[in-house]
């Protein structure tokens, strides 16, 4: 039995060491490209004849410059700043850049319209998601959650691709309730740690969320919950997934 335990500990230790080694592996510098038609260069290196520098920023232009240069069997140069290690843009043939720039101008309106349609579709999907999962949520709360957690480009939970729709809605609603219907922010301002503050208000968050989900018929007085003095709550909530949202 003891030998078995020692063997198990060795396996666990070796596995942990392997994970640590993989996590600590540094990224190569300068970056390495496996594509024979794409090379790495630095800002101060001379630009090849017939090439121009295309700064990063306009995804349509940089993407199409890269694609069309490779389609013509010519080399794309990815430009980096040697001191900061930042990617600065591309060097591509000047005629290809001119063609892509003209196309960008001609298609600007249609691309903007396509983005608008896509954004409206995403917004409608998010609205339906929240309304289906939380049918009793007040309309003004729903709108505020849409404008905050599901705001395009915000990087917030509603925009992540790493969670299911149901999980995104759940975390966004919990965050809204925590900040707007509980003394959570006041507890933080008073010096309480983030996790401790979340534990302190978790029962309140859960009660309001259950009401909005139609899982509870008990009335919740939101005004009273704004008091800076938290009620007598269970500080040992086991719902870690929600506490860490």
Residue-wise pLDDT tens digits, 214-230: 875 454 444 344 433 34
Is it true that domain 38-104 has CATH number 3.30.70? yes
Residue-wise pLDDT tens digits, 59-97: 999 999 999 999 999 999 999 998 888 999 999 999 999
* 3-state secondary structure string across the chain: CHHHHHHHHHHHHHHHHHHHHHHHCCCCCCCCCCCCCEEEEECCCCCCCCEEEEECCCHHHHHHHHHHHHHCCCCEEEEECCCCCCEEEEEEEHHHHHHHHHHHHHHHHHHHHHHHHHHHHHHHHHHHHHHHHCCCCCHHHHHHHHHHCCCCCCCCHHHCCCCCHHHHHHHHHHHHHHHHCCCHHHHHHCCCCHHHHHHHHHHHHHHHHHHHCCCCCCCCCCCHHHCCCCCCCCCCCCCHHHHCC
* 0.85 exceeded by pTM: no
CATH 3.30.70 in the chain, residues? 38-104
């Amino acid at each position: 039995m003891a030998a078995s335990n020692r063997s198990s500990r060795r396996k666990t230790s070796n596995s942990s060491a392997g994970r640590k080694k993989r996590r600590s592996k540094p990224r190569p510098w300068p970056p390495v490209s496996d594509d024979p038609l794409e090379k790495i260069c630095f800002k101060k290196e001379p630009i090849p004849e017939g090439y121009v520098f295309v700064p990063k920023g306009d995804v349509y232009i940089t993407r199409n410059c890269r694609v069309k240069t490779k389609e013509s069997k010519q080399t794309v140069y990815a430009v980096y700043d040697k001191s900061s290690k930042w990617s600065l843009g591309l060097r591509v043939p000047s005629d290809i850049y001119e063609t892509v720039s003209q196309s960008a101008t001609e298609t600007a309106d249609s691309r903007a319209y396509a983005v608008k349609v896509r954004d409206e579709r995403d917004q409608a999907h998010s609205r339906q998601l929240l309304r289906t999962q939380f049918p009793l949520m007040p309309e003004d709360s729903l709108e505020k959650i849409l404008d905050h957690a599901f705001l395009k480009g915000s990087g917030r939970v509603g925009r992540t691709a790493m969670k299911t729709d149901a999980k995104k809605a759940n975390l966004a609603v919990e965050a809204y309730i925590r900040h707007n219907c509980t003394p959570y922010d006041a507890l933080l301002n008073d010096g309480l740690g983030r996790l401790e503050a979340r534990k302190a208000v978790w029962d309140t968050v859960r009660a309001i969320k259950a009401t909005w989900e139609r899982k509870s018929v008990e009335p919740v007085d939101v005004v009273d919950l704004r008091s800076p003095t938290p009620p007598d709550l269970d500080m040992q909530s086991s719902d870690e997934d929600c506490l860490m949202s």
